[in-house]
Structure formats: C-alpha cells, structure tokens
Amino acid sequence: MDHFLYQADELYAEQCQVAELAKLHGTPLYIYSRATLERHWHAFDNAVSEHPHLICYAVKANSNIAVLNVLARLGSGFDIVSGGELSRVIEAGGDPAKVVFSGVGKTVAEMEMALNLGIYCFNVESAAELEQLNLVAVRLGKVAPVSLRINPDVDAGTHPYISTGLKENKFGIAMEEAEAIFARANELPGLAVKGVDCHIGSQLTEIKPFLDAMDRMLALIDRLAEQGIEIKHFDVGGGLGVTYDDELPPQPDVYAAALLERLGGRDLKLIFEPGRAIAANAGIFVTQVLYLKENSDKRFALVDGAMNDLIRPSLYSAWQKIIPVIERAGDSHSYDVVGPVCETGDFLGKDRQLNVLAGDYLAVRSSGAYGFTMASNYNSRPRAVELMVDGDKAYVIREREKIAQLWQGEQILP
Ligand code: LLP
C-alpha cells in the first residue's frame, strides 16, 4: 500500500495535492512519500523481527540524501556499490558500521575509504578483488570484514538485464570455486571472513528462485563449517518485486517467513538488501501534457518528461501505470505517452487509455526506485526537481537543475 491516492477526482501525495505541487514547482518532477518509505522499511524489519538481521537498503534505487536520511533515522543499514554512494550515506547521517559494499569493480580508493570508515562488510565478487582488498587492508593496518558473493546459478525469471544469478552473468563467484576462494580468504592476514551473499536479480515476483538460491547457499555454508570456516551472516541480497501492473509478488512477511523456515536452526544473522521494494511505490513522476498529436490512426500525448528523466520504459520495456492527476469525465482514447527526446525509444507508456488535454498533468506511478537515480542530461535536459511529502507538508529535496549546471566543469580551448 502507498500514500498516492485519489480524493474525489484528484490525486494526493499523502495530504498534498499533486496538481498544486506541480504548479508550484513545475514539471517534470518526482514526488516521494515519507510515510510510504517508512511503511515499506518497517514491513521488512518487522518481517524478521525476532531473528538477528540487518536491513541494508540498496542505495542505487533512490539515493537522494533525504530518502537515505529518513531510512537512517529508522536504523537502516545500506547496501552501496560505489564511493559516491558511501559518501551519500555518510552525508545523510547513515551509520558506516551498517554498510555492506557490493559491486564487481571496487577501486583501491573505494576500498581505502570504506576501510577507513569501518563498514560492516565487503561483498567480494572475485578472487582478484579478494587479493586486492587484502593488500589494501594490510597496507592500512586494518582487517577487512568480507563476505563472498556466490553465484548460485538460478534463473530468477525476470528481465535479462536485471537477472544476475546465472552462470553467464558477470556477478559473483562460481559455486564450484567458492570453497577454494573461502579457504584462501581465511588465510589472508588482511581479511576476516564473516559471511556469504548472493543476489539473483531484481523485480522477482515468485518466491521459488529465492528459495532455490538459499538452498544452494545453505549447503555451501554447511560444507564450509565442515572445513572449519565459520560463517556468521548470510546476505540474501535484494530483488523482491513490486506491483507495477497486476503482478502479485510475495509481501515481505511471506518472503521472510519462507527464508527463515529454510534457515532451520542455523545460527546465522540475515542481511537483506531491498531497494525497489522500499522505494518504487513510494514515488511518482509527474509530467505535463504539452501537445496532443495524431499520426494516421495513432494518438500521441507529448509530455515534458522523457527517457532522460525515467528510462525504465525505454531501457527494459518496463510498464508503469500512468494516471491523470485530475480525472476528467468523458471518453478516453488510446495514447502513446512520449517525451521530447529525439529517439523513437523515448516513451513513458504505450497504448494507454487516457482522457487528456494539453496542459493536464499525468503521474507515472512506481517511480521512486530506479527513476531519478538513472536520470541523465541527454538532449541537454536539466534533471527534474525532487520533492518529499510528509503529511500535509512538501519539501524540495533536490532543486531542478539549472541550465548553467549543464556545462559545469566543461572548458573551451584557449
Ligand atoms: N543488492 C545488489 C547486489 C544489487 O545488485 C541490487 C540491484 C540490489 C541489492 C537491489 O535490488 P532490488 O531490491 O532493488 O531489486 N535498474 C533496474 C534494476 C537494477 C537492479 C540492480 N541491482 C530497474 O530499473 O529495474
């Protein structure tokens, strides 16, 4: 459940009128709901309440420091994939001791930064990275807490671009190599083996792939124990899907209960890295219709938001619900909702039944995750303003980019 609901024919973000916010701040704009973010985070945390655990929100889903700060205040940990994300967490008041560092290509500088800040764990993705991390830690006189990301080779059944747990993907260490690399990690002086982790993909709507992965990972943990390598935590990654259309993904409580049951009596702390499940339905993207246009038998609603603002439809053919901010009575027609960018792939939705006129506002739902964080300046379009509503108050949490910022740092030749 989220807090973007109609009152009569008008869409509200919590107790704020979306149309008023759009008029005041201009379009395109992102609006996030604090109550929804908190509700989703608590849904995860409560789902595993009794069992030792840490919820590490995946920063890549939405990295605005106001979003991170709202979650940090709840006691959230964070899953990061770069020094930039780590810096955001610190800026937002997050606790580095609750940070896990994922990603296949950590640089020496990023390792140094994370070691100096004292993060919870490095999720190491290859033997080469393991050796590098050991060297950096020894040089700094530190011991790096490590988990190895194992690729369990399960089919997550999701879009190929966001499926990560198959052998052919670049992520993680192959299961066959896991024990040898754990043994190596165990003997390196700059490392302390803490955990294992996996992440099999994103927007999973079935529980089975998670359980298949878990079975394989638990078998590995048991084999490691026989070799005297004690694993203290199991990081199950993120990936729980959300409802964009009519998908019915398991709710966090059902998902966590299934994982806990599989865990049996093992004394393992569980780490979760949800991104989308916390942020997606906590945000909308609001855009204004500039023109209506008909080409032969096709109708287009040309809007001021585009693929540079919200790339999921273009990049993954992702379907996100598009709704009017103020509903009109009368007949609807089928429209392609398209942006001003000079690409055929620039659309927010195709064949949508809408009753709109130029000047109307449309809201693209479920845009709180992988929306703004994937935005670009393509076509020299300044990035959108971001707001967060909290009850009847709305706060600008990132100003609309100014035109002069577009060439900030650029130089012309003397
Ligand atoms: N942990 C790791 C190691 C990850 O790679 C990811 C996402 C997550 C956690 C969070 O996954 P989530 O709970 O959000 O599914 N841009 C794509 C999604 C890419 C996900 C990448 N990794 C999209 O818009 O659908």
Which three-class secondary structure string do you get for the chain?
CCCEEEECCEEEECCEEHHHHHHHHCCCEEEEEHHHHHHHHHHHHHHCCCCCEEEEEEHHHCCCHHHHHHHHHHCCEEEECCHHHHHHHHHCCCCHHHEEECCCCCCHHHHHHHHHHCCCEEEECCHHHHHHHHHHHHHHCCCEEEEEEEECCCCCCCCHHHECCCCCCCCCEEHHHHHHHHHHHHHCCCEEEEEEECCCECCECCCHHHHHHHHHHHHHHHHHHHCCCCCCEEECCCCECCCCCCCCCCCHHHHHHHHHHHHCCCCCEEEECCCHHHHHHHEEEEEEEEEEEEECCEEEEEECCCCCCCCHHHHHCCCCCEEECECCCCCCEEEEEECCCCCCCCEEEEEEEECCCCCCEEEECCCCCCCHHHCCCHHHCCCCEEEEEECCEEEEEECCCCHHHHHCCCCCCC
Where in the sequence is the domain holding 54, given as residue range(s)?
Answer: 34-278
Final residue before a domain boundary, out of 230, 256, 278 = 278
Task: State the pLDDT at residue 156.
Answer: 76
pLDDT of residue 252: 96
What's the pLDDT score for residue 265?
86
Looking from the CA of residue 202, the nearest atom of ligand 1 is 15
Q: Is the pLDDT of residue 159 over 70?
A: no
**Mean pLDDT to the nearest integer, 200-217:** 95
Question: What pLDDT band is residue 157 in, cutting at 50, 70 and 90?
Answer: confident
- Residue with the nearest Cα to atom 19 of ligand 1? 162
245 and 392 fall within a common domain = no
Q: What is the pLDDT of residues 173-197, one digit of tens each?
A: 999 999 999 999 999 999 999 999 9
Would you say the CB of residue 149 lies under 6 angstroms from ligand 1? no
Quote the pLDDT of residue 155: 78
Probe target for ligand 1 pocket from 210, 273, 309, with the most ligand atoms within 8 Å of CB: 273
pLDDT at position 97 is 98
Predicted pLDDT at 1: 80
Q: Does the pLDDT at position 165 exceed 90?
A: no
Q: Which of 250, 278, 306 is the last residue of a domain?
A: 278
Q: Indicate the range of 126-130, 189-193, 278-282, 294-298 predicted with least confidence.
A: 294-298
CATH of residue 244's domain is: 3.20.20.10
- What does pLDDT average to over the chain? 96
Q: Is the ipTM of this complex over 0.85?
A: yes
Residues 245 and 295 in one domain: no
CB of 276 sitting under 6 A from ligand 1: yes
Annotated binding-site residue? 230: no
Least confident of 54-63, 166-175, 271-280, 388-397: 166-175
Centroid of ligand 1 to alpha carbon of 164 (angstroms) = 9
- Is 239 annotated among the ligand-binding residues? yes
CA of 366 to the centre of ligand 1 (A): 15
Q: Both 260 and 129 in a single domain?
A: yes
The count of structural domains within the chain is: 2
pLDDT band at 247 (very low <50, low <70, confident <90, very high): very high
Answer whether residue 371 shows pLDDT above 90.
yes
Tell me the average pLDDT across 237-257. Answer: 96
Give a yes or no: residue 382 inside a domain: yes
Average pLDDT, integer, range 366-383? 98
Predicted pLDDT at 296: 84
Ligand 1 centroid distance, CA of 294 (Å):
37
pLDDT tens digit string along 12-34? 999 999 999 999 999 999 999 99
Q: Is 130 in the pocket of ligand 1 (CB under 6 A)?
A: no
Answer whether residue 414 is part of any domain. Answer: no
Mean pLDDT of the 370-394 span: 98
pLDDT recorded at residue 91: 98
Is the per-residue pLDDT at 162 higher than 70?
no
113 and 56 in a single domain? The answer is: yes
For residue 274, say whether it is annotated as part of any ligand binding site: yes
Residue 79 lies inside a defined structural domain of this protein:
yes
pTM over 0.80: yes
266 and 210 both lie in a single domain: yes
Mean pLDDT on 276-295: 97
What's the CATH number where 378 sits? 2.40.37.10
Mean pLDDT of 225-235: 97
In the prediction, which pLDDT does 171 show?
86
pLDDT in tens, 331-347: 999 999 999 999 999 99
Claim to verify: residue 106 and residue 238 sit in the same structural domain: yes
Name which of 94-98, 292-296, 402-406 the model is least confident about. 292-296
Q: Predicted confidence band at 75 (pLDDT cuts at 50, 70, 90)? A: very high
Q: Mutate which of 56, 60, 67 to test ligand 1's pocket (most atoms within 8 Å of Cβ)? A: 60
pLDDT higher than threshold 90 for residue 377 = yes
